[in-house]
Amino acid sequence: GNSVTQMEGPVTLSEEAFLTINCTYTATGYPSLFWYVQYPGEGLQLLLKATKADDKGSNKGFEATYRKETTSFHLEKGSVQVSDSAVYFCALSAGAGGTSYGKLTFGQGTILTVHP
Amino acid sequence: DAGVTQSPTHLIKTRGQHVTLRCSPISGHKSVSWYQQVLGQGPQFIFQYYEKEERGRGNFPDRFSARQFPNYSSELNVNALLLGDSALYLCASSVGGHRNEQFFGPGTRLTVL
């Protein structure tokens, strides 16, 4: 079956540090890949996505590149802020040609804490 | 524009009781999905409905059921509650069809005592 594995956390950084959160996946077909963020007490917000190999998703300074050869979708940000403190989830939606009806498979989440 | 809304926000039940959670999708969205998020874990897929038909079901017991109404809102029902059902229940809506992007509501926090 489909699965997503994220690097174990939590991750603690100082403001302006470089962030990498690793994500690898197992899936049949050609999945779409996502990063969601969950702030304390809130639901999930889509951070970025990529729908085919070599696509780069980006938003709010975060980036992730869909690497089919390594089945990875690592999240990066060059300079984190205190306001980036949240839980980050890598997810996939599997379906040939992107025609999935929308089941998302999530990783276990990575807690990010950024200190001033 | 209003996002996905869920009610109630919080709920406390005892073992063996029944619960109904409600979700209203974003206007124009015809697909609704339900997820269970146990504390410290990623969300787990429960159901997906599109145009009032069940299109996907996760690995949950028959105590879990759902339906979608003509206005595309949805209910998730859980019977014979167990302590292990305590979780954040998330609803997500999407345009449906070939679109994969899902928009999540704030969730309903269910506590089973």
CB pairs under 8 A between A and B: 72
Average pLDDT, chain A: 90
Across the interface, whether the CB atoms of A45 and B104 are under 8 A apart is answered yes
DSSP A18-35: -EEE-EEEE-SS--EEEE
Cβ atoms of B67 and B75 within 8 Å: the answer is yes
Q: What is the pLDDT of residues A65-105, one digit of tens each?
A: 999 999 999 999 999 999 999 999 999 987 544 434 568 99
**Across A13-40, average pLDDT:** 93
Query: Shortest CB distance from B45 goes to which of A44, A95, A104?
Result: A104
Cβ atoms of B77 and B64 within 8 Å: the answer is yes
Query: Shortest CB distance from A109 goes to which of B42, B96, B98?
Result: B42
Average pLDDT, chain B: 92
* Token pair 């962030």: residue: A19
Q: What is the pLDDT of residue B62?
A: 96
Cis-peptide, bond into residue B8, ω within 30° of zero:
yes
Checking if the pLDDT of B100 tops 80, the result is no
Q: What is the pLDDT of residue A101?
A: 56
Percentage above 70 pLDDT, chain A: 93
Query: Shortest CB distance from B41 goes to which of A91, A95, A108?
Result: A108
Q: What is the pLDDT of residues B51-81, one digit of tens each?
A: 888 888 899 999 999 999 999 999 999 999 9
